[in-house]
Amino acid sequence: MELLLAVARLGSLGRAARELGITQPAASSRVRAMEQQLGVRLVTRSPSGSRLTDAGSLVTDWARRVVEAAEEFDAGARALRARRDSRLRVAASMTIAEYLLPGWLIALHGQLPGTAVSLLAGNSAAVARRLRDGEADLGFVEGVDVPGGLDAVTVAHDRLVVVVAPGHPWARRRTPVPARELAATPLILREEGSGTRQVVDAALAEYGGLAAPLLELSSTTAVKSAVSSGVGPTVLSQLAVADELAARRMVEVPVEGVRLARELRAVWPQGQRPTGPSRNLLSLTARD
Amino acid sequence: MELLLAVARLGSLGRAARELGITQPAASSRVRAMEQQLGVRLVTRSPSGSRLTDAGSLVTDWARRVVEAAEEFDAGARALRARRDSRLRVAASMTIAEYLLPGWLIALHGQLPGTAVSLLAGNSAAVARRLRDGEADLGFVEGVDVPGGLDAVTVAHDRLVVVVAPGHPWARRRTPVPARELAATPLILREEGSGTRQVVDAALAEYGGLAAPLLELSSTTAVKSAVSSGVGPTVLSQLAVADELAARRMVEVPVEGVRLARELRAVWPQGQRPTGPSRNLLSLTARD
DNA sequence: ATGAGGGCATAAGCTGGGGTTATGAGCAGC
DNA sequence: GCTGCTCATAACCCCAGCTTATGCCCTCAT
């Protein structure tokens, strides 16, 4: 797939091969193999180079999504690996580590290639402790308030959104669901202790908190698939459902009378303004 | 990665191995190899099964995104391959083929496993011709009007959105950009002939149409990367920038006084209501 | 308490996918 | 017409990753 992207970008099998560190015949045979599997010509070869066919650009676009996901995986993996002797030690809470950090690491690598970054993932308290103990240089936390002893800057606003399957009655609502009704409705939820669930519960406190859950599941994935199959509504981070919303596999339900938001913040020990690589990473993220 | 997901789901290396059609030692060694590369334990083994560690679930979450992208790739690829002798022949325009169809095909496969689906991608005119010639059973087109001789149902509304890099002045605007100002601003655009560009140009016709482009590029990817690096604003399908918006790598700019929307429609020859697999696919998509 | 069964690890051996080098043919442009 | 780029084909080679076979450990039911 990377090869396909490289061919699209460079306009020649040989050049693409060189970029990937393989030889031209290897590239040629890979592309041929893929064409054979698909039964479709992907590139038009000519003595002056190769261009994608229509089918080829469609396949390449699909491939691009895979490659991008793989690059994020890789960036994250590298950071997990580089435990010791890394120049930048980052501690991050789960949502950020999962959805945002890989992208930031890729961007950072663009600015400072060769900088070893290490990642520790944990909850906000753990992140704060690491920073205070000098075990991390920069932290990222999600939540309503900043842990004590740390300076912070907001890098993003994470909205929690109420989502349902497209067939669910709420999907057709034009008027927002009142907070009271949301509080009274049994939802599909993560198990007690999940950060998202706590935020929702707190936000709905004045309406009596969350109703008894319709279903309690142990992973975000499980929640999503239950929602998709129409079991009921849930509340999830906008980051977790962006894809589903874009493709209308799920529908966002507007809610009234409650702020389901939480700040995503970069944090560091009080007074110690980030310098060096921390500063670079921060400048990639701080945007508001 | 699939193995990791299977382990997470099934709670045992052996069971996961069986699901993937490999033997238990193979699974064991794969996981071990990955752990070695990352320098982190991913699963805690016990005589009663295996569970993911914290790092393991983080890695698994990253992996899930890769696997999902790969599954969409695969679904699309299979449809390209199954040219002849397929029970359902779909013709779709590019945006739909690229972003939505793979997901639909996966869902359809869930309902009707073993149904061979073939895909022809082209512009709206080509889709219409295929349907009229009986070369396709169901079509999907994007655009403002329905090609003649076809019945249609809207399956989604594709908003075109104005996006800029987070550092761009427009990213901080609180007030919408007036249509007149948008029309007067040089944008980064695809080359003449792109569907998106035509829609924008038409929508801004009453304000004199688009200004001379700031930059003309040949692929959506190229446009996106130019925007990200702050060159200027562009207009793209919401589907193309959902990820970037969610991660705030780009920012949507509200616009006033112009409807930048187009319908995504399923179409079929007039009077011939879809039946069989077409009907299944349609019911997966028709949602408004 | 004791066997049966499921879980995982280790070891040895084989296979083929995917690479390499070497070479040739076609076309563009100085 | 030569030079330099393109891509294709052929012959060879290697090792990553599988399988089979085995053993140990723990749990649970008899």
In this complex, the answer to whether residue B215 has its CB under 7 A from any atom of chain D, a nucleic strand, is: no
- Identify residue B285 by its one-letter amino acid code: T
How far apart are alpha carbons A47 and A164 in whole angstroms?
54
Q: Quick one: which H or E segment has residue A156?
A: strand A150-164
Contact A248 B99 (CB under 8 A): no
Evaluate if residue A182 carries a pLDDT over 80. yes
Evaluate if residue A84 carries a pLDDT over 70. no
Nearest partner of B72 among B25, B36, B48, B108, judged by Cα? B108
On chain A, the residues whose CB falls within 8 A of the CB of B83 are 39
Chosen for mutation from A1, A5, A66 (greatest number of chain B CBs closer than 10 Å) is: A66
pLDDT value at residue A58:
93
Report the pLDDT averaged over residues B147-161.
89
Nearest to B81 among A38, A102, A249 (CB): A38
Sign of the torsion formed by the C-alpha atoms of A240, B225, A43 and B140? positive
The pLDDT mean for chain A works out to 90
Evaluate if residue A90 carries a pLDDT over 90. yes
How far apart are alpha carbons B82 and B77 in whole angstroms?
9
Tokens of B14: 């052996």
**Among the residues of chain A, which ranges form H helices?**
2-10, 13-20, 24-38, 54-81, 94-95, 101-111, 124-132, 179-184, 195-203, 220-228, 238-246, 276-285
Query: Does pTM top 0.85 for this prediction?
Result: yes
Residue A148 burial (10 A CB sphere; 0-12, 13-18, 19+): exposed
- Identify residue B145 by its one-letter amino acid code: D
End-to-end, the C-alpha distance of chain B in Å comes to: 36
Chosen for mutation from A53, A73, A83, A249 (greatest number of chain B CBs closer than 10 Å) is: A73
Chosen for mutation from B73, B106, B218 (greatest number of chain A CBs closer than 10 Å) is: B73
Those residues with Cβ within 8 angstroms of residue A210's Cβ, 6 or more apart along the chain or in another chain: A183, A187, A189, A197, A200, A201, A204
Q: SS3 of A6, please?
A: helix
pLDDT value at residue B287:
60
Most confident of A126-140, A185-199, A211-225, A243-257: A126-140
The residue whose two tokens read 């073993």 is B114
Contact A80 B249 (CB under 8 A): no
What nucleotide is nearest B49 when CA is compared to C1'? C7
How would you classify the pairing of strands A251-253 and A150-164? antiparallel
What are the pLDDT digits (tens) for B93-108? 988 999 999 999 999 9
pLDDT band, very low/low/confident/very high, at B217 (cuts 50, 70, 90): confident
Evaluate if residue B288 carries a pLDDT over 70. no
Nearest to A246 among B61, B80, B238 (CB): B238
Evaluate if residue B254 carries a pLDDT over 70. yes
Evaluate if residue B204 carries a pLDDT over 80. yes
Nearest to A80 among B40, B99, B171 (CB): B40
Contact A99 B242 (CB under 8 A): no
Evaluate if residue B234 carries a pLDDT over 90. yes
Is A104 within 8 Å of A72 (Cβ atoms)?
A: no
On chain B, the residues whose CB falls within 8 A of the CB of A55 are 80, 121
Evaluate if residue B255 carries a pLDDT over 90. yes
Nucleotides, chain D, CB distance < 7 Å: 4-11, 17-21, 25-28
Is A284 within 8 Å of B230 (Cβ atoms)?
A: no
Nucleotides, chain C, CB distance < 7 Å: 5-12, 18-23, 25-28
Distance A6 CA to D5 C1' (A): 18
Contact B246 A242 (CB under 8 A): yes
pLDDT value at residue A98:
94
Is A52 within 8 Å of A42 (Cβ atoms)?
A: yes
Per-residue exposure over A174-194, b if at least 16 CB sit within 10 Å of its own CB, e if not: eeebebeebbeeebbbbeeeb
pLDDT band, very low/low/confident/very high, at B267 (cuts 50, 70, 90): very high
Is B217 within 8 Å of B191 (Cβ atoms)?
A: yes
Report the pLDDT averaged over residues A172-194.
91
Nearest to A66 among B57, B70, B171 (CB): B70
In this complex, the answer to whether residue B30 has its CB under 7 A from any atom of chain D, a nucleic strand, is: yes
Tokens of A270: 């009080």
pLDDT value at residue A88:
93
Evaluate if residue B85 carries a pLDDT over 80. no
On chain A, the residues whose CB falls within 8 A of the CB of B62 are 72-73, 76-77, 98, 102
On chain B, the residues whose CB falls within 8 A of the CB of A102 are 62
pLDDT value at residue A191:
83
Is A223 within 8 Å of A236 (Cβ atoms)?
A: yes
CA B26 to each of CA A130, B20, B44, B149: distance values in angstroms, whole numbers, following the listed order: 37, 11, 17, 56
pLDDT value at residue B286:
65
Evaluate if residue A288 carries a pLDDT over 70. no
What are the pLDDT digits (tens) for A225-284? 899 889 999 999 998 998 888 888 899 999 998 888 888 999 999 988 989 999 999 988
Report the pLDDT averaged over residues B55-65.
93
